[in-house]
């Protein structure tokens, strides 16, 4: 397959909510390309809008960097339940290289989605997997990780990012 170009902030497509994937859409090549792109970047998740596809699809593999690959392609994902317990952790984003934000997220979620074979899935995710899934879901809703910060924190991060980009 191939590595796709990753859109960088402030590309306006990163701020747009995505449309649901329609039944019958053939996504096999896109999914393979998204995995290739994510691993090449190297990231733990990649959402459709990050590669210019404004559809509700993301790929993730929270464990591959630690030697425990858990690749998952999620089509039309949605949260079925989420823990009240939250943890704050550092998050980077392939569309905003070099910008790390400390974001509070639920520690456990139950994710519903359709897999690449068209089967409905329901999976309990915790820790890094929950964080990655929630981060990618934000992308599908037109949100970035820094949107969870105060205006002052967000402006500071984006100012540093813009200065680094030249």
Is residue 136 among the annotated active site residues? yes
Residue indicated by tokens 């990655």:
132
* Cβ burial, residue 83 (10 Å; 0-12/13-18/19+): middle
Residue indicated by tokens 């990618």:
136
86 DSSP β-pair partners: 106
What does the alpha-carbon distance between residue 3 and residue 5 come to, in Å, rounded to a whole number?
Answer: 7
Spell out a b/e string for 23-52, using b for 16 or more CB atoms within 10 Å of the CB, else e: eeeebeebbebbbbbbbeeebbbbbbbbbe
What is the CB neighbour count within 10 angstroms for residue 90?
10
Is the preceding peptide bond at 10 cis, omega within 30 degrees of 0? yes
Active-site residue identified among 100, 116, 120, 136:
136
Report the catalytic residues: 136
């Amino acid at each position: 397959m191939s590595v796709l170009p990753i859109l960088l902030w402030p590309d306006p497509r990163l701020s747009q909510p995505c449309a649901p994937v329609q039944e019958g859409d053939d996504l096999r090549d896109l999914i393979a390309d998204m995995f290739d792109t994510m691993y090449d970047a190297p990231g733990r998740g990649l959402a459709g809008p990050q590669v210019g596809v404004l559809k509700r699809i993301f790929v993730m593999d929270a464990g591959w960097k630690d030697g425990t690959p858990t690749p998952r392609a999620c089509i039309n994902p949605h949260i079925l339940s989420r823990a009240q317990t939250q943890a704050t952790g550092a998050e980077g984003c392939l569309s905003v290289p070099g910008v790390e934000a400390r974001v509070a997220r639920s520690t456990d979620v139950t994710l519903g989605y359709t897999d690449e074979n068209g089967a409905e899935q329901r999976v309990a995710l915790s820790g890094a997997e929950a964080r990655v899934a929630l981060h990618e879901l934000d992308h599908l809703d037109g949100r970035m990780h820094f949107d969870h910060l105060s205006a002052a924190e967000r402006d500071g991060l984006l100012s540093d990012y813009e200065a680094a980009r030249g």
